[in-house]
Amino acid sequence: MTASDAARAAFRDKPRGLTDKVMPVAEAVRRFVRDGDYFAAGGFGTNRIPTAVLHEILRQGRQRLGFAGHTSTHDFEILCAGNLTGRGQTLALVDVAYILGLEARGLSPHARRVVEGGGVACVEWTNYTLALRFAAAAMGVPFLPARSMLGTDTFARSGAKTLTCPFTGETVAAVPALYPDVAAIHVHEADRYGNARFIGPSVADNDLARAAKRVIITCERLVPHEEMRRNPHLTTIPFLCVDAVCEVPFGSYPGNMPGEYFSDEDHLRLWLDVERDPAAFRQFLDDHVFGVRTFPEYLDLCGGLTRLQQLRHREHLLHMGR
More confident residue, 112 or 319: 112
Q: Grade residue 230 by pLDDT with cuts at 50, 70 and 90.
A: very high
Percent of the chain with pLDDT over 70: 99
Residue 151 lies in a domain: no
DSSP output for 189-232: EE-TTS-EE--S--TTHHHHHHH-SEEEEEEEEE--HHHHHHSG
**pTM for this predicted structure:** 0.96
Residue 283 lies in a domain: yes
Residue 7 lies in a domain: no
Give the model confidence (pLDDT) of 277-304 as tens digits. 999 999 999 999 999 999 999 999 999 9
What amino acid is encoded at 35 in this protein?
A: D
**pLDDT for position 214:** 96
Q: Grade residue 305 by pLDDT with cuts at 50, 70 and 90.
A: very high
State yes or no: pLDDT of 5 exceeds 90.
Answer: no
**Residue 39: in which H helix or E strand, if any?**
strand 38-41
For position 213, which CATH number holds? Answer: 3.40.1080.10
Domain with 262 in it: 31-142+177-319
Q: Quote the number of domains for the chain.
A: 1
More confident residue, 1 or 233: 233
**pLDDT for position 322:** 60
User: Is 99 within 8 Å of 76 (Cβ atoms)?
Assistant: yes
Residue 16 lies in a domain: no
State yes or no: pLDDT of 9 exceeds 90.
Answer: no
Give the model confidence (pLDDT) of 51-98 as tens digits. 999 999 999 999 999 999 999 999 999 999 999 867 789 999 999 999
**pLDDT for position 318:** 78
How far is 18 from 224, CA to CA, in rounded Å?
Answer: 13
Closest CA to 88 of 39, 36, 51: 36
Q: Is the dihedral of CA 287, 290, 293, 299 positive or negative?
A: positive
**Residue 59: in which H helix or E strand, if any?**
helix 51-59
Q: Grade residue 182 by pLDDT with cuts at 50, 70 and 90.
A: very high
How far is 187 from 236, CA to CA, in rounded Å?
Answer: 10
Q: Grade residue 3 by pLDDT with cuts at 50, 70 and 90.
A: confident
Residue 17 lies in a domain: no
The whole-number average pLDDT for the span 253-274 is: 97
The whole-number average pLDDT for the span 123-139 is: 96
How far is 102 from 140, CA to CA, in rounded Å?
Answer: 33
User: Is 79 within 8 Å of 107 (Cβ atoms)?
Assistant: no
The whole-number average pLDDT for the span 198-224 is: 96
Cis peptide upstream of residue 254 (ω within 30 degrees of 0): yes
How far is 84 from 101, CA to CA, in rounded Å?
Answer: 18
Residue 23 lies in a domain: no
How far is 237 from 209, CA to CA, in rounded Å?
Answer: 7
State yes or no: pLDDT of 187 exceeds 70.
Answer: yes
Mean of the per-residue pLDDT values for the chain? 95
State yes or no: pLDDT of 321 exceeds 70.
Answer: no
Q: Is 273 exposed, middle or buried (0-12, 13-18, 19+ CB in 10 A)?
A: middle
